[in-house]
Amino acid sequence: MLHDLGIIMLVAGAISLLCKWLKQPVVLGYIVAGILAGPYVCGSSWVNVESAETWGQVGVIFLLFSLGLEFSFKKLLKMGSTAFIGCLTIVVGMMGCGFLLGRMMGWSEMNSLFLGGMLCMSSTTIVFKALDDLGLRQHKFAETCFGILVVEDLFAVVLMVLLASIAVKQQFDGAEMATQVGKLVAYLLFWFVAGITLIPSLLKKCRKHLNDETMTIVALGLCLGMVLVAKMAGFSEALGAFVMGSILSETIECERIEKLMSPIKNLFGAIFFVSVGMMISPATLAEYWLPIAIITLTVIFGQIIFATLGITLSGQPLKLAMQSAFALTQVGEFAFIIAQFGESIGVTEKFLYPVVVAVSVITTFLTPYTIKLAEPAYGLIERVLPQKLLTKINKLSQGKSTIAQQSIMQQLLKKVGLTVLVYGIVSAFIITLYQQFLSKIMIDAILTVIPENLEWVSRLVTLIVLLIALSPFIYKMIASHFSAPETIQLRQDSTYRRVTLVALFAARLILGMMFVTFCIGQYFNLTLGLLVVAAIVIIILMMFSSKVHKQSTYMEQRFMDNLSAREREKEMSRSVRREVEDAFLDYDLHLADFVLNPHSTYCGKQLMSLDIRRTCGVNVVRIVRGGVNINAPGGRECLYPHDRIVVAGSDEQIRRFGQQLDSTVVTNEETKNIGRASTFSLELLQVLPGMAFCGKALSKSGIGERAQCVVLGIEHNGVTTMNPTAEVILNEGDTLILAGETEKIKSLLTA
Question: Do 134 and 371 contact (CB within 8 A), yes or no?
Answer: yes
pLDDT-based confidence at residue 736 (cuts at 50, 70, 90) = confident
Of 116-120, 183-187, 603-607, 649-653, the range with the highest mean pLDDT is 116-120
- Kind plus residue range of the DSSP H or E element containing 469: helix 455-479
Number of Cβ within 10 Å of residue 346's Cβ equals 8
In this predicted structure, what is the pLDDT of residue 301? 93
Q: What residues pair up with 711 in beta bridges, in sequence order?
A: 738
Handedness of CA 641, 647, 649, 655 (dihedral sign): positive
Question: Do 170 and 249 contact (CB within 8 A), yes or no?
Answer: no
pLDDT-based confidence at residue 680 (cuts at 50, 70, 90) = low
Q: Which residues contact 231 (CB under 8 A, 6 or more apart)?
A: 237, 240
- Phi/psi for 293 (5° steps) reads -65, -45
Burial class, 59, CB count within 10 angstroms (exposed 0-12 / middle 13-18 / buried 19+): buried
Of 132-146, 522-536, 704-718, where does mean pLDDT reach its minimum?
132-146
In this predicted structure, what is the pLDDT of residue 401? 44
What DSSP state is assigned to residue 348? S
Cα gap 455→465, rounded to integer Å: 16
Number of Cβ within 10 Å of residue 133's Cβ equals 14
pLDDT-based confidence at residue 667 (cuts at 50, 70, 90) = very low
pLDDT in tens, 77-129: 655 677 888 888 888 889 889 889 988 988 888 888 888 888 888 877 678 76
| Domain annotation for the chain: domains and CATH numbers | 2-375 (1.20.1530.20), 408-565 (no CATH), 580-671 (3.30.70.1450), 680-750 (3.30.70.1450)
In this predicted structure, what is the pLDDT of residue 585? 47
The rounded mean pLDDT for the chain is 78
What DSSP state is assigned to residue 637? P
| pLDDT at residue 12 tops 60 | yes
In this predicted structure, what is the pLDDT of residue 294? 92
In this predicted structure, what is the pLDDT of residue 403? 43
